[in-house]
Structures are given as C-alpha cells and as structure tokens.
C-alpha cells in the first residue's frame, strides 16, 4: 500500500479565459484593489511524496511558476485544448533543460491540437535544438498512474466539447464543465475537497454558473468545495464568499490547501 503523504494543492490561477482584470474593462471587479479579485488563468499545482504535477498550463504559466517558486515538474495533465489551458506549453523549456523530457497527459484529440499549435515541440525531423521534448501519455476514461498515484479521469462536456476533470485520491479538480453524466458523478463521492467551475451568476452555455455549481456540490457532498474559473460577473470575492454555504469557498490565486 502506498504511503501517501498529504496532498498539497496550490491554486495557480482561478480566473476565466480572459483573466481578471479583463483588458480595457471598467467593470467594478476589474477595478478592485483586493488581490483576491485579481485572477490569472485557471491551473492548479498538485504535490505529494516529492512529486509535482500541474493541471493545465495557460498563457500565465511562466508567471505562475515563478510566483510559486516551482523548480521541477513531473508532468502536466490537460483538461482540454482551449488556449487558456494550453498556451503556456513553450514555457516548459527551463524544466526540460534541467530534467529532460517532460511527461504530458491528455486526450488524443488534445494532443492533435497541441501538435498543430506547437509543431516544433512534437516534430521528430530537423528539430530546433532549443525546443523541449515531451512524453505523450494518452488519457482515456480509465485510471492511470502519475508518480505513485492512480488518477481517475472525470469525463464531462464543455458545451459540446469533451473535457476531463481529474481525481487525485480524495481531491478532485473539475473546470470548464457544463454537463456530467451520472456514471461520472459516481466517481466523485467520498471526497475531502472538490474544486468546480462557477463562472458567474447568470447561466452560461458552457460553464456551471453559481447556482449549478452549488447544486452539484450538494449532490457530490465533499467535505469542502472551492469554486474556480471565475469571471468578473460572479462579483467581488469578499461579497460572494459571505453568501456561500459554510463548506464552500471561493478559491483565489496562490491559495494553498492540504488534504
């Protein structure tokens, strides 16, 4: 039996695809001076037993790695191929130069998109010497090993696009979800912590809004839940959190929790 040390979770980013503040926006939340209202694109760092894995690497990846003082990663898990979850891939280079090939975990469709956007990383012919090498690990809807831990994918829909969430032991991370089938929900019982997207108050075509996220939390019944992938239209951090159930919290950038 694996002697699993506590999972340490760092919220690298908790914002929507444009981040907060949004460029050029005069929305009151975008003008807030509260650091908890300033959100980079969504990503989490998951650490245990000297392993360090990242879920998604968006355009803010370099800044997030520097802020969190991350000196090595054992791999990156991708939820889906959208730009706010993948466009930091080039910034794995410093890790590659120190460590060698970097393992990536993703749906085959996501790898196809990455191979188009970052062809210089995935090519095997006349490769530029400064480009990083990666190890492709295709994720299907079945458990797979990262480090010494089995990770369980959670299959869902982001509007009509298939996305994966991931369960690490008693911790699950779901982002960009709108629809989750019952058989996938069953994978999420008996959690210490659930992280789920809650984009805004009003309904949205491809994300849970606040009401839907809270209903989902009621169904799954984790001991604690954190909301992420937040837009300015959810409201000010402090105002929203005051009105949440006692076991539900609004995540914010650089928040760390231990499970």
* pLDDT tens per residue, range 145-160: 999 999 999 999 999 9
Using alpha carbons, select from 207, 197, 196, 107 the residue that is nearest to residue 157. Answer: 207
pLDDT-above-90 percentage for the chain = 96
CA pair distance 226, 235, nearest whole angstrom: 16
Name beta bridge partners: 153.
Answer: 166
Fold of 8-141+150-251: Metallo-beta-lactamase; Chain A (3.60.15)
Quick one: average pLDDT of 24-29? 98
* pLDDT of 196 higher than 90: yes
**Structure-model confidence comparison of residues 242 and 1, the more confident one:** 242
Q: Does the predicted TM-score (pTM) go above 0.85? A: yes
* pLDDT of 237 higher than 90: yes
Q: Are 174 and 196 in contact (CB under 8 A)?
A: yes
CA 163 to chain centre: 11
List, for residues 114-154, the tens digit of each pLDDT value. 999 999 999 988 899 899 999 999 999 999 999 999 999 99
* pLDDT of 31 higher than 80: yes
* pLDDT of 49 higher than 90: yes
- pLDDT bracket for residue 199 (50, 70, 90): very high
Per-residue confidence (pLDDT) for residue 2, from 0 to 100: 58
Question: 């990156």: which residue's tokens?
Answer: 76
Per-residue confidence (pLDDT) for residue 161, from 0 to 100: 98
CA pair distance 137, 154, nearest whole angstrom: 17
Quick one: average pLDDT of 226-242? 98
CA pair distance 159, 135, nearest whole angstrom: 29
Q: Are 153 and 173 in contact (CB under 8 A)?
A: no
Q: Are 171 and 146 in contact (CB under 8 A)?
A: no
* pLDDT of 213 higher than 80: yes
Per-residue confidence (pLDDT) for residue 3, from 0 to 100: 63
Using alpha carbons, select from 233, 221, 230, 234 the residue that is nearest to residue 255. Answer: 230
Per-residue confidence (pLDDT) for residue 43, from 0 to 100: 98
- In 40-168, which ranges are continuous DSSP H helix? 61-67, 83-86, 93-99, 108-117, 119-122
- pLDDT bracket for residue 1 (50, 70, 90): very low
Name beta bridge partners: 44.
Answer: 11, 55
**Mean of per-residue pLDDT scores for the chain:** 97
List, for residues 52-95, the tens digit of each pLDDT value. 999 999 999 999 999 999 999 999 999 999 999 999 999 999 99
Per-residue confidence (pLDDT) for residue 103, from 0 to 100: 98
In a 10 Å sphere around its CB, with 0-12 CB exposed, 13-18 middle and 19+ buried, how is residue 224 labelled?
Answer: middle
Residue 198 DSSP SS3: coil
């Amino acid at each position: 039996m694996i002697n699993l040390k506590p999972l340490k979770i760092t919220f690298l980013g908790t914002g929507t695809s444009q981040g907060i503040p949004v460029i050029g926006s005069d929305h009151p939340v975008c003008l807030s001076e509260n650091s908890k209202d300033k959100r980079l694109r969504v990503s989490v760092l998951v650490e245990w037993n000297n392993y360090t894995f990242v879920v998604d690497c968006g355009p803010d990846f370099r800044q997030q790695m520097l802020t969190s003082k991350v000196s090595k990663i054992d791999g990156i898990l991708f939820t889906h191929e959208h730009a706010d979850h993948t466009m930091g891939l080039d910034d794995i280079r410093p890790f590659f130069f120190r460590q060698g090939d970097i393992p990536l975990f993703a749906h085959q469709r996501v790898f196809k998109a990455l191979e188009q956007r970052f062809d210089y990383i995935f090519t095997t012919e006349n490769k530029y010497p400064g480009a990083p090498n990666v190890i492709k690990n295709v994720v299907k809807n079945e458990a797979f090993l990262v480090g010494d831990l089995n990770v369980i994918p959670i299959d869902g829909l982001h509007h009509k696009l298939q996305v994966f969430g991931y369960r690490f032991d008693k911790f699950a991370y779901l982002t960009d979800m709108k629809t989750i089938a019952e058989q996938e929900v069953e994978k999420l019982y008996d959690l210490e912590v659930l992280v789920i997207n809650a984009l805004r108050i009003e309904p949205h075509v491809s994300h849970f809004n606040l009401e839907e996220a809270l209903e989902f939390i009621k169904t799954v019944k984790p001991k604690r839940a954190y909301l992420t992938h937040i837009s300015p239209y959810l409201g000010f951090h402090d105002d929203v959190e005051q009105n949440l159930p006692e076991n539900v919290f609004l995540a914010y950038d650089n928040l760390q929790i231990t499970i």
